[in-house]
Structure 1
Amino acid sequence: MAHIHIVDMPCGYGKSSRIVSSFDKREKYIAVVPYLSEVKRFISDAQEKSKMILTEPVSGSSNKSDHCEKLLRAGKSIATTHAMFYRLGTLATFSTGAARCVAFEPGTVPSVEVEHLLDGYNLIIDEVINPFELDQTVRSVDFDQDYLDMGLVEVHADGRVVPTPAWDLKYFQGSKTFSPALYEKAKSGGLYRLEEKLFVLTIPIELLLKPKSVTIYTYLSEGSLLLKFLRKVQQDRPGLFSLTVEYIGQAEEAAWREDVANALTVLSIPGLEEQLWNYTAQLKGIKKHSECASIGHELRKFKDGELEGVNLNSVMLTCARDLWHDNRSGQKPAAGRLAKHTRMFGRAVKEEDFDHETERYVDKWSTNGVRFVPNTTRGTNDHAGCTHAVYLYDQHPNPQLLTFLGMARNSQDAYQFCDAYALTELVQWLFRSAIRVGGLNSTGRQYKPRRRVTVYIPSQRMRNLLLNWLLSGKVNSGSVNPTGLLQTELLARVEGRPMPTYSECLEI
């Protein structure tokens, strides 16, 4: 039976150091990290700390996917990004051409297992990304006509879309008529149909079942859709895999949270508190010129007041991307319909950046204004110089996914999970900033004071979630009520208020 182990460890506490120090040269590994820059660092650190050689699949005489397959068939350990999940999930179903006898009793037929490509590998995933996303490969009506009606797929009771032998044959024949990318998502166990829409599981289930071991490093996993999904699969398909979650000690985590709270200031933006900040409300309620101008005016006042004298490039901000950017990622930045009213977007800046994969220089665009950091950003140190953060979000998971995961939309279970999900998303995003630099850690490095950061959150629900978690470690979007003198003093520091007087302390 496959076993999945989740290591729940605080951000910036030493997850990456633990991973690269744990490699055993006698074993084979697949290390999957969020970004290409992290791949380079992983390869270097693994060789330095464990004498382990990891190879990165690259585009050369063939594409990156084919190079990945060649490396795995050669038994090499690799390091790659989350973008390779579907290809790895498909490769997990490939046979090596070998078989082994796993049980034999005289007078009976031997039990034989076919070896798969990932059987001997230890899979390590650093940082969990949102496991579900809407698939845009084909329209729902085209999927019905071109895939379902032609017998290329079957849709199981749990929503899984599974390729039939007919589609297997077309894929291996190299047919481009039916999307090879969609096939890999389905074959890897990552394609689902929910209420007439196609969703993909960004970490395919086959990728989690075939390797020798699977270890996923993350933080606040109880608020992750992935853990909720894995527990649902366990319930629906008992015996498929076992699942364990490893946490650090309560006292250890409490000390770490207090260390974070002492370096963090959590404030609101009063002029934006009445605005709804969930994703749908942003796209529908900040649409007209007057709406964008009104909110933009409040952000200009905020910039000229709270951010006076602050280098805007040391400020990270998130909101619905369409409000801030008016073009695709990688193109010359253009201010979105909200950003153009804020005077915070800045001018486009172009730099030449060497692409190690293509071995040529490419244009890298940014701005000299605030740094837009998508709310789903994980596992990168690129924004660790940001000492101010603006969080224009009120996080909620997709309601269709709640139904799929077995939660009635207005149930207490759904409300509790929505709060846990929102807290996880906020903390993961916040720890892309300078708050991850210094502080308590498990690496054995000499202690250095944690860098101070101020975060501005106009949503009262999100502020309450963060403040209650800092004080108690609990998920609670209700009012913030400190218990005892120490929590009262800590809350005053976090909210940037004067410390309570002696007489006020006596009343607590």
Structure 2
Amino acid sequence: MKKVKIHDAIMGSGKTTKAIANMKKNKGSFLYVTPFLNEVERILENVPNTFQPKVTNVKNHLGEWEILHKRNNLLTMANNGKNIVTTHSLFSKLQRSDYSFFKDYDLILDEVLTPIEVIKISADDIKIAFKQGLLVKNDKTGEVTYTGDDYKGFYSALKPYCDTANVVHVNDRLLVWAFPPEIFQSFKSVTVLTYLFEGSLLASYFKYYKIPYELEKHSDQDEAIMKFKISKLLNIYEGLSNKWGDHHSAFCVSWLRNKTSKEFKQIKDTVSNILQRNFAATSNDTAFTTFKKFESKLKGKGYSRGFVPVNERATNKYAHKGTMIYLANRFLDPNIIDFFRSGNVKVDENNWALAELLQWIWRGAIRNHEEMNLFIPSKRMRTLLSEWLNDTDYKSLSMAA
């Protein structure tokens, strides 16, 4: 079985730049998959003879015009051996019947994709769907097939998941969509560009489906030097106002759900005071995040217009932000942990949370190697960052840096 190559290197080390240089030299065909459209544009601008699948109008064999949707446009390009750049979203819509188009392609994944999703449907509704015959389960594999092609209603939302032929029934209560593992053996080669891969869900997915991979890490010395430089540029608040986050679960979804209006006001006032007294930050200079459902409850004076989604990645549009406020504490959905546990795979939740935090922090001015203020009241998240920064011998690096 072919091994997936993982290029694991710290943010700012030039992974994408090196990938662009390699694609320019590539004599075969490649499919480059990235999370966001602005990165698609970057590849299109920098790599000649590269194409993006779009909805187009084409003439059929009868000479009539018809719509060619993005997935079909991608497959047409692949059939013609074109170099293609697209998003994680479109890539995840590929079906097993599509994989044969890519046997001569090199796949490059810029950042790890989300390989599994717990479908939002209750255990009772799942039972009803099975009872009505809209879902059929393969008792040997656990795989679920959707049979209600002509059905229009609540359960029709399950069809797009089942179309990729990899929905499984877990613990008699969950429907989980997982990326079909065969796709990673359908390409000539697969390369993933990322950082802290072992903490990602994709690493757990590879272990669950026994997909072999090899890790190619940035040199320890180069990474340590970069961490040293980052630590000198970050001004992390360490004062008494961090008391809000002392509890292990502080600022997670359930903790925020139980806060009163009075407590939300106190947190907002705390943030506003730190911005004014400790950071002397302006509204335009400040970004903040929390979980989307709590944005309106936590936005306050001096930072209300600076919301950046907690899962924001791969964009430089906030690179002018010199002050970042992180009002979140990241934990995985327990159902996802249960899914991997069913295959005796342990998920490194702390490493996953650290990777998510670093991706968000890296949206700000630090990405341009500029000084940046940081307020992370969650003790757990702040400790993960501190331990990551201090996981090296700074004294021996001071001369090298």
Superposed pair shares fold, TM > 0.5? yes
Aligned residue for 2:290? 319
| 1:47-82 deviation per Cα after TM superposition (whole angstroms, max 9, x unaligned) | 2xxxxx111111232232232222222322211111
- CA RMSD in angstroms comes to 3.1
How far, CA to CA, are the matches of 1:74 and 1:181 in structure 2? 33
* Residue in structure 1 matched with residue 55 of structure 2 by the alignment: 59
- Give the AA of the match of 1:389: M
1:435·1:451 contact (CA, 8 Å) conserved in 2?
yes
Aligned partner (choices 208, 219, 222) of residue 252 of structure 1: 222
Structure 1 counterpart SS, 2:284: helix
Q: 1:151 to 1:199 in 2, by over 3 A?
A: closer
Q: Which runs of 5+ in 1 are unaligned?
A: 48-52, 96-115, 235-240, 325-335, 347-368, 438-449, 474-482, 491-508
Structure 2 residue aligned with 1:145: 128
SS at match of 1:215: strand
Residue 15 of structure 1 and its aligned partner are, at CA, apart by 0.8
2:80 is the alignment partner of 1:74: yes
Task: Give the whole-Å Cα distance in 2 for the aligned partners of 1:145 and 1:228.
Answer: 31
> Match of 1:353?
none
Change (3 A) 1:124 1:408: closer
1:226 CA displacement: 1.3
Give me the whole-angstrom Cα distance separating, in 2, the residues matched to 1:86 and 1:153: 23
Normalised by the length of structure 1, the TM-score is 0.68
Residue 285 of structure 2 corresponds to residue 279 of structure 1: no
- Asked whether the 8 Å contact 2:118–2:336 carries over to 1, the reply is no
For 1:283 and 1:191, how far apart are their aligned partners in 2? 32
1:18-74 deviation digits (Å, cap 9, x = unpaired): 111112453111111111111111111112xxxxx1111112322322322222223
Q: Aligned residue for 1:191?
A: 167
Partners of 1:264 and 1:230 in 2: how far apart? Answer: 34
Contact 2:290-2:327 at 8 Å conserved across structures: yes
**156 and 74 in structure 1: CA distance in 2 versus 1, 3 angstrom threshold:** farther
| Residue 419 of structure 1 pairs with residue 373 of structure 2 | no
What do residues 434-484 of structure 1 show as CA deviations (whole Å, max 9, x unaligned)?
2122xxxxxxxxxxxx211121111222222212211215xxxxxxxxx78
Counterparts of 2:115 and 2:291 in 1: how far apart (Å)?
19
Change (3 A) 1:292 1:148: same
Number of the residue aligned with 2:263: 291
Deviations 1:90-140 (A, max 9, x none): 1x4337xxxxxxxxxxxxxxxxxxxx122121111101244433323x554
Task: Look up the match of 1:463.
Answer: 382
C-alpha deviation, 1:84, in angstroms: 0.7
Q: Deviations over 1:347-384 (max 9, x none)?
A: xxxxxxxxxxxxxxxxxxxxxx22x2222222222222
The aligned counterpart of 1:361 is none
Are residues 271 and 193 of structure 1, via their aligned partners in 2, closer, same or farther at CA, if it must alter by over 3 Å?
farther
1:10 aligns with 2:14: no
Tell whether the 8 Å contact from 1:124 to 1:215 is kept in structure 2 after alignment: yes
The residue number in structure 1 matching 2:61 is: none
State the match for 2:199 in structure 1: 223
Residue 423 of structure 1 aligns with an amino acid whose one-letter code is L
Gaps spanning 5+ residues in structure 2: where? 58-66
Contact 1:402 1:408 survives alignment (8 Å): no
Residues in 2 aligned to 1:424 and 1:14: alpha-carbon distance in whole angstroms: 17
Gap change, CA 1:402 and 1:293, over 3 Å in 2: same
1:296 Cα deviation after fit: 2.1
How far has the Cα of 1:152 moved from its partner?
A: 4.5
TM-score, length of structure 2 as denominator length:
0.84
Percent identity of paired positions between Structure 1 and Structure 2: 24
Aligned 1:480-499 pairs, distance under 5 A: none
Q: RCO greater where, 1 or 2, for CA within 8 Å and sep 6 or more?
A: 2
- 2:287 partner letter: M
* 2:117 is equivalent to residue 133 of structure 1: yes
Contact 2:208 2:343 in 1 (8 A): no
* In 1: Cα distance, 2:294 partner to 2:350 partner: 25
Is the 2:325–2:374 Cα contact (8 Å) retained in structure 1?
A: yes
Task: Count the aligned residue pairs.
Answer: 383
Distance in 1, matches of 2:157 and 2:53, equals: 18
